[in-house]
Chain A
Amino acid sequence: MADLTLNRLDKRYGGFHAVKGIDLAVSDGEFVALVGPSGCGKSTTLRMIAGLEEISGGDILIGERLVNDLAPRQRNISMVFQSYALYPHMTVRENMGFTLKIAKRPQAEIDAAVAEAARALEIEPLLDRRPAQLSGGQRQRVAMGRAIVRSPDVFLFDEPLSNLDAKLRGQMRTEIKKLHARLGATVVYVTHDQVEAMTLADRIVIMRDGHIEQADTPDEVFNRPATRFVAGFIGSPPMNMIEAEVRGDRLRAPDGAELPLPQAFRDRVSEGQRVTFGLRPDDIYPTGHGLHAGTQVETRPLEVELTEPLGNETLLFIRFGGQEWTSRMLNPRHLRRGEVVEFQFDLSRAHLFDAESGLSLRDA
């Protein structure tokens, strides 16, 4: 195991600037998830770490070793691919032992390593099958087995669960988490699924357009998003956001609707400043159905436009300030469409972003 450092890492494809000089330090044993929309540069970053893409600028260090110009095989990394990338003509056993065989390790050692990995992943009965005879979930396990057999410095995962169905994905997520706890491995994990990132990672790196928007713990990126983009990307259903202007101690939406300025931001905005106001669905709820006890709560009677009952909670859609808001009602009671209900806005949990830069106006 080793730590991993990216210094001003850069990638250009001709005129396209895919990764724009990112800095990232992953410490030994840390699980870091790279998330972001398609084309944000997360996979490219991972492939540069693996050595499958040449880097256009900057440095990659694994441990103390500069690996910029080393071939993938010289970097001592393992990678799990989205398509699993198993060797179709080899049995599961051969697939898993292949990297050690190439390294010319003694057969006894290969057998032992494969047996141990197979036991850990519960794929011992499959060892003599070929990949074509396995289900998607089994192939996924074999791909992970192939990665751990080698005991690499860094594990790289490239959207490993996106080809699985939802149920299996949940299982494998737990599986990966256990594996990480057991191996204490340094992991870089690329995904577009924020749930995977939130549940697995020690630290989440949210990327957009080739740069890092925020790199922090799941708790921080959820509760203290550094930018409007992060606020919108993390959380499901997404955060409600509305453009507004500061008018004294109030915020005014374009259609004239007003809300009090959240207290936490009172000294951080100037009169007339254009801001984006954000509030998670958890923080708007019919009176008595909230999650937190807010310290600055604004109550408004609003009409329920649509309901989505989910059993343990119901999502309510309401209109305010000229746009649709999502509200999460816990311990749901039956509400009909068109009913007018008192909604509470927990402003102590609100977010404000500068409308121009998209940066959070919260104190750093």
Chain B
Amino acid sequence: MKPWRLSPHILLLLPAVLVLLAVVILPLILSFWSSLTPFRLTRPDSIYDFVGLRNYARLMGDGQFWSAFGRTVLLLTVALNLEMLLGLGLALLIERASRGQRILRTLLMFPMMFSPVLVGFQFKFMFNDNVGLVNNALQSLGLTNSAIPWLIDQHLAFFSIVVAEIWSSTSVFAIFILAGLMAMPRDPLEAARVDGCTPWQTFRFVTWPFLMPFAFIAMTIRSLDVARAYDIIKIMTDGGPARRTEVLWTLIARTGYADSKMGMANAMAYVAILLSILFTVIFFRKLAQSREQIAAEW
């Protein structure tokens, strides 16, 4: 009898398929399955109780979940826009520097070298109402006498988190936009000056359209980042006080590990991932559009 053999192309693909299966597909199937059960970490047996879409149905009416969802979108919007404006400003300033530009570029990367957990701890200390740097400075300058509850007031806490996010990640925008500025041809800028543009008009009509794809790359990367925001918030406020800074992933982690409702947490995670996918698709479309606009060859 002829021995049974795999054809070579299947054989060669097999390692990749097996690895993907083990580390991606299987966990995906497992987590999706568990989102259809009332799986609790404390009652392992519950993974076999199929309840259909009940977890998802409950989510739809869950106020806590939707406020976390909304807060995540808000954080995304506010942080990304501010980061882009600041990053753009930084990039424009650094590009003008004729000396020491390399050093400035290196310095720009510094905030990215710290773990978000450490950034969280640092800002938690700075915004502490008793011993924090911020209150200390404000009081020394005579701007206030009271201890401002930065991490306790709902709005101030959100603000503090935004500040920490911006500090740690503005450089992503700055670096991409700077790369765009450096790749930009000089001649259209000069043509614009001759054509009658003020410096602002040159920026608005010539520089910015060219930089847009670079900004959108940064946007895509950062939207994925912020949509899964966890570490900084976990450290600074842990979603508190009273869940007022709760975002999707702090809620999911709490539901899954603290309340051990893993089935529900997985259902939430699937909805959260939809959000990430949505933002990615939007920014990718924009990116493709703006690339086509400047006839980019990359």
3 smallest A-B Cβ distances: which pairs?
A132-B295, A85-B187, A85-B191
- Chain A interface residues toward B at CB < 8 A: 50-52, 71-73, 77-79, 81, 83-89, 98-99, 102-103, 130-132, 146, 150
CB distance B197 to A89 under 8 Å? no
In B158-207, the 8 Å CB interface with A consists of 185, 187-188, 190-198, 201, 205-206
Known contacts: A52-B190, A83-B187, A85-B188. The answer to whether A99 contacts B294 by CB under 8 A is no
Chain B residues, Cβ within 8 Å of A87? 188, 191-192, 205-206, 209
Chain B: how many interface residues by the 8 Å CB criterion? 20
Chain B, Cβ-Cβ closest to A78: B194
Known contacts: A89-B293, A89-B294. The answer to whether A79 contacts B191 by CB under 8 A is yes
Chain A residues, Cβ within 8 Å of B193? 51-52, 71-73
CB distance A146 to B295 under 8 Å? no
CB distance A102 to B188 under 8 Å? no
Q: How far is the CA of A98 from the CA of B197 in the complex (A)?
A: 9
Chain B residues, Cβ within 8 Å of A51? 193-194
Apart from A72-B194, A83-B187, A98-B192, what 20 extra A-B contacts exist at CB < 8 Å? Answer: A52-B194, A73-B193, A73-B195, A77-B194, A79-B194, A81-B190, A81-B191, A84-B187, A85-B185, A85-B188, A85-B191, A87-B191, A88-B210, A88-B294, A89-B210, A102-B195, A102-B196, A103-B196, A146-B191, A146-B195
- Chain B interface residues toward A at CB < 8 A: 185, 187-188, 190-198, 201, 205-206, 209-210, 293-295
Question: Contact partner of B188 among A88, A99, A103, CB < 8 A?
Answer: A88
Chain B residues, Cβ within 8 Å of A84? 187
10 contacts between A and B (CB under 8 A): A51-B193, A72-B190, A81-B191, A84-B187, A85-B185, A86-B188, A88-B294, A98-B205, A99-B195, A102-B196
Known contacts: A73-B198, A87-B206, A89-B210. The answer to whether A81 contacts B294 by CB under 8 A is no
Which of A51, A85, A86, A102 has the most chain B CB atoms closer than 10 A to its own CB?
A: A85
Chain B residues, Cβ within 8 Å of A130? 295
Q: How far is the CA of A239 from the CA of B290 in the complex (A)?
A: 54
Chain A residues, Cβ within 8 Å of B191? 79, 81, 85-87, 146
Q: How far is the CA of A83 from the CA of B190 in the complex (A)?
A: 11
Q: How far is the CA of A102 from the CA of B201 in the complex (A)?
A: 8
Q: How far is the CA of A72 from the CA of B295 in the complex (A)?
A: 27
